Every structure is written in C-alpha cells, then in structure tokens.
Amino acid sequence: MRVRSYVLFSLALLNLTFVICHWSFAQDQYLRDVPEGHYAYDAVNDLVRRGVTNGFPDGTYRGKKEMNRFEIAAFISKLARSLNRQRATGEKMVAELRTEVATLAYVQAERSRETGVAVELLYRGREAEAPGKRGALADYRLRTVVTKRFSELADLRLTLDTMDSGYGGGDRDLVRDLLDFTGTVKLGPGTLQIASGPGDVTHTDSGYFPGENGVKYRRPRRSLAYALRWHGTDLALTEQVRSTDQSGVIGVRELSLKISRPISGWQAGVNPRLFSANDGRQDNRLDLSLAAEPWPGLTGDVLLGVAKMADYPHGLYLRGELSYGDLVRLVAQRLGSQYRETFSYSIFDVFDRNLSDGATSIGIIVSAGNDWFFRAKGDLTAPGDALTTEWRIGRKLTPQYSLQLSYQTYKSASVTLSQALGLEARICF
C-alpha cells in the first residue's frame, strides 16, 4: 500500500511540475505590445507557439516595425520548418494508424480462416422438351464447405454436396456420396495432402433433357499426395484408388508422378502413371505436356497421352487448349480407340461428360461481363454427331445473390432435338 501511495504522489508531483513549467514558459513568451483582445493576438501567439518568432528580447513584438530581407528570410524559413514538422507528425500518426488497422485486419483474417463456413444454394426451374416427352422440372443443389485451420502448417476442409439428390427425388448415400474431406499438412520442404471422397459421380438424366445424361460431378477421390518444388522443378507424387462398385471396395490403384519445369519460355511436363487391380492386372500411361503464354492473357497447352505404341495411333490421346483470359476457351480432344482398353477413367468434355475411346470432341466456352454477365458453351462430339449448346444471361444482384436465364439444346444422330428453358437462382453465404 505504501508503494502504491508513493507512486501516485510522485505522478501527481510530476504533473504539477509540468504545469508550472509550462505556465512559466507561457509567461516568458508574453508580448507586452500584443495584449489579449488585440486583433492580431491569436495570430501572433500562434506563431510564438510554433517557434516561428519569439519577439524582441525586451518582450515586445513591434508589429509596426518594417522588416528587412534578412528578417523576412529567417521568418519564412522558420515557418516552413514548423509546417514540415507538423506535416511529418501528421503523416507519422496516419502511418501508425494504417499499420494498426492493417494489423487488426490481418489478425481478423487469420481468425476467420481458422474456421470458415461457405454455403452455396442453387435452385432452378425448367421447362424441358425431348422427343415424345415434355414437362416442368424443379431442381436444387446445396454445397457446404467447412474449413478448419489448425496452424500455418495444417488445415482441413469438409464438403457436403447434394449433387443431383434434389433432382426429381434422387437418392444418394450421405456418407459414401455426399461427403468428402481434404487435409493438408506442411511436411518438410513440401506439402502432404490426404483426401477421401466418392470420386466422379455420374448423373443419369430423367429423359427430359438427354444432354445432361452422363454429366459427372467431379469430387475428390481417396488419395495421398506429396508435392514440392525442387530447384525450379515442380514434383507431385500421388496414389489414388477407385472403387469398382457402390460398395466402396477398392478396385483399382493409380500411382502417378508429375514433373513440371519451365524450359525456354515453355512449361514442360511429364507424368508417368501406373494402374494396378486387385486381380493382378496392370496398365501404364505416359502423359507429355507443353504450355506457354505467347502473348499476355493468351495461353495454350498441348497434352499427349501414350498408352501403347503398338497398333498406332489407337493407343494415343491428344488434347489441345487455347484460352484468352476468362473470355474464350477452346478445347479439342482426340482419343484412340484403345487408349483406356484395360482400365476406365473419365476424360471430360466442356460439359463434364466422359468421352469414350475413339471419340473426337471440340468444345468452346465464352464468358463476358461481371454484374450483368453472359455465358455460352458448345460441344460437338463424334461419332454420334452429338451437338450440345448452353446459353446463359444473368445478373449479380449482390456478391451473394444472382439470377440467370438459361437455354439449352441437344441434338445427335439418335435424338432429333431436345431443349430446356430455365430460370436459376444462386445464393452464397
């Protein structure tokens, strides 16, 4: 208690001393010929407080006395120094305030990243017409992503996606089909990622719009991957498994090593892949890729997949893509008739449908606008001469809400024409 009383008494004494000294200084700076009430009193005392002038030694200001060039130069120099000090003080305070605001924003962002929840709800109503069939459809899709960040080195993402469960009373198993998770851990010089999910889930259309039959929801597979950069080269070793039926039993394993490195303005990649089944069957692939950006915004890449060189070219896969920013994307693909002869996996067109061996596909995506936006997609696949188009125009009402009007068409050698007109609402929160 004595120590506390002594501290309080010392602080009070120090404050009193400061007040007395300040008052004495003010008395010393009093100018006798500029009394309080004088029309220039405030202006003159402001200059005194700034240190621009102190008056004459006898305590007068002599406001009617003429100034010579030396006095004018000294006055202006002192005034400039005073203004610079004041501006520097203000800038320092603003900089400190900005730093504090940025620090608070960073801390808040880090805290929000510790646990985040994102929800997206898509609802659409359509009038669809196929040969011999016509009807009104109402569909919804809910996607929820929960992200948990444990530290700078580890995070976990859990996703619930209803996919087509809301399409005409569809049924999907909650654990096996709707849920997936991905965990990431910084391990040594690289990153280890563990994922578990249903993989590609195939949608079967009700028959009203055959163009959506076979569309695949691209979900994570059960996989283990380690990626790192070593002397400018990107390396990724991945093992993933595929189930052969709805039981979830592992049927096929794939071991993949991706190597990518910039060479003379190109990004060159090589990706050997080894497939193996529980019954002892094996198959190999080798993917070779080249990508470049010849002009700002214009990118192009080519991929050559080699399954076997015998019976050329039926064991090859060729894919080329050309895009200009987010405006235009053109994709062309050609699959040999025996490319996936032993093990099947998805190779997608622009509508996320699987292409069969022996198919040729040309797809295009065009996008424009932000608040008001326009999207168009088209794909032509042969054999079968299947032509699919989709046109969308929409409006982002807020960053979380958007409405869009869609028109879809599908025509093939076996389907004369099917079309669907729909209105979609998307809510994100």
Query: Which two structure tokens, joined as six digits, stand for 280?
Result: 């002892």
Percent of the chain with pLDDT over 70: 83
Q: Do residues 347 and 358 touch, judged by C-beta distance below 8 A?
A: no
Give the separation between CA 309 and CA 307, rounded to whole angstroms: 7
Q: Do residues 227 and 236 touch, judged by C-beta distance below 8 A?
A: yes
With respect to residue 130, please indicate whether it lies within any of the assigned structural domains: no
With respect to residue 153, please indicate whether it lies within any of the assigned structural domains: no
Residue 405: C-alpha distances to residues 308, 369, 372, 398, 420 (Å): 46, 15, 12, 17, 11
Give the mean pLDDT of the chain: 85
Out of 56-60, 137-141, 300-304, 399-403, least confident range? 56-60
pLDDT at 44: 76
Whole-prediction pTM value?
A: 0.71
pLDDT at 10: 46
Out of 76-85, 157-166, 375-384, least confident range? 76-85
Of residues 119 and 100, more confidently modeled: 119
Per-residue pLDDT, averaged over 152-173, amounts to 87
Q: Do residues 393 and 374 touch, judged by C-beta distance below 8 A?
A: yes
Of residues 165 and 58, more confidently modeled: 165
Give the separation between CA 89 and CA 243, rounded to whole angstroms: 68
With respect to residue 33, please indicate whether it lies within any of the assigned structural domains: yes
pLDDT at 245 over 60: no
pLDDT at 17: 44
The winner for highest mean pLDDT among 87-96, 184-193, 308-317 is 184-193
With respect to residue 9, please indicate whether it lies within any of the assigned structural domains: yes
pLDDT at 235: 97
pLDDT at 236 over 50: yes
Per-residue pLDDT, averaged over 188-206, amounts to 92
pLDDT at 94 over 70: no
Per-residue pLDDT, averaged over 295-311, amounts to 91
Please give the tally of structural domains in the chain: 1
pLDDT at 56 over 90: no
Out of 104-113, 212-221, 245-254, least confident range? 104-113
The winner for highest mean pLDDT among 63-67, 99-103, 159-163 is 159-163
With respect to residue 46, please indicate whether it lies within any of the assigned structural domains: yes
Per-residue pLDDT, averaged over 189-214, amounts to 91
Of residues 233 and 96, more confidently modeled: 233
pLDDT at 374: 97
Of residues 240 and 53, more confidently modeled: 240
pLDDT at 242: 82
Out of 42-46, 161-165, 189-193, 417-421, least confident range? 42-46
pLDDT at 14 over 70: no
366-419 residue pLDDT tens: 999 999 999 999 999 999 999 999 999 999 999 899 999 999 999 999 888 999
pLDDT at 19: 41
Query: Which two structure tokens, joined as six digits, stand for 5?
Result: 């009383």
Confidence of residue 4 (pLDDT cuts 50, 70, 90): very low
**What residue numbers bound the domain in which 77 lies?**
2-105
Q: Work out whether strand 250-263 and strand 233-243 pair parallel, antiparallel, or are unpaired.
A: antiparallel
pLDDT at 221 over 70: yes
With respect to residue 23, please indicate whether it lies within any of the assigned structural domains: yes
With respect to residue 57, please indicate whether it lies within any of the assigned structural domains: yes
Out of 172-176, 196-200, 251-255, 349-353, least confident range? 172-176
Confidence of residue 23 (pLDDT cuts 50, 70, 90): very low
With respect to residue 65, please indicate whether it lies within any of the assigned structural domains: yes
pLDDT at 73 over 80: no
